[in-house]
Chains A and B, each alone.
Chain A
Amino acid sequence: MNRALTVAVLVVVCALLGVGLGAELLSPPAWMLAVQDTNDPLGRLIWQWRVPRVITAFCVGASLGVAGVVFQGLFRNPLAEPYLLGSAAGASVGAAIALLVPLAMPAWFSLSLLAFAGSWGATWVVVAMARLTGVKSGTSLILAGVAVAALLSAVRSLLMLVLSDDTVNVQSVISWTLGGIQTPYWSELAGVVIPLTLLGFLACLTLARGLDFLGLGDEVAESMGLAVESFIRRGVLIAAAVTALAVVWGGLIGFIGLVVPHIVRWWVGARHGSLMIYSALGGGCALMVFDGLSRSLLPPSEIPLGLLTVMVGVPFFLLVLVRESRR
Chain B
Amino acid sequence: MSAAPTHLMHAEHLHLKRGRRAVVSDVSFTIHANQMVGIIGPNGSGKSSLMRLLAGVIAPDTGSLHLNGQLLSTMTRAARAQSLSYLPQETRVYWDFTVDDVLELGLARGQPTLRLRASQQMPLPKALIAEFELQELMGRVLNQLSGGERARVLLAAAVAGHPQLLLADEPMASLDVCHQLGLMQRLQALRERTASVIVMHDLNLAARFADRLLLLDQARVVAFGSVDEVLGSPLLDRVFRVAFERERSDGVLKLYPHTAT
Mark A residues whose CB is within 8 Å of B: 76, 205-206, 208-210, 212-217, 219-227, 231, 265, 269-271, 273
Contact = CB atoms under 8 A, between A and B. Distances in A.
A34 to B, nearest CB: 41
A226 B86 CA distance: 13
Given A217-B88, A217-B93, A269-B101, A223 B56 contact: yes
A209 B113 contact: yes
Contacts of A215: 93-95, 97
A71 to B, nearest CB: 13
Nearest to B82: A225
Nearest to B88: A219
A206 B112 CA distance: 9
Shortest 6 CB-CB contacts between residues of A and residues of B: A225-B81, A270-B95, A223-B86, A209-B114, A226-B112, A76-B94
A163 B78 CA distance: 52
Nearest to A73: B95
A270 B95 CA distance: 6
Nearest to A209: B114
Q: Interface residues of A: mostly helix, strand, loop or mixed?
A: helix
B119 interface: yes
B57 A222 contact: yes
A51 B56 CA distance: 54
B201 interface: no
Given A206-B113, A217-B93, A225-B82, 5 more contacts: A210-B113, A216-B102, A223-B56, A224-B110, A225-B109
Given A217-B91, A220-B91, A269-B96, A225 B80 contact: yes
23 contacts: A208-B114, A210-B114, A212-B97, A212-B108, A213-B105, A215-B93, A215-B97, A216-B105, A219-B55, A219-B57, A221-B112, A223-B85, A224-B81, A224-B108, A224-B109, A225-B77, A225-B81, A227-B112, A231-B112, A269-B97, A270-B95, A270-B101, A271-B101
Contacts of B95: 76, 215, 265, 270
B200 interface: no
B77 A227 contact: yes
Interface string B50-82: 001001110000000000000000000110111
Contacts, number: 90
A219 B78 CA distance: 15
Nearest to B79: A225
Contacts of B216: none
A205 B98 contact: no
Nearest to A208: B114
Nearest to A207: B114
Question: Interface centre among B111, B112, B116, by most A CB within 10 Å?
Answer: B112
A213 B94 contact: no
B84 interface: yes
B92 interface: yes
Contact of A209 (B78, B88, B112): B112
A222 B109 CA distance: 10
A220 B105 CA distance: 11
Nearest to B93: A216
B92 A217 contact: yes
Contacts of A224: 81, 105, 108-110, 112
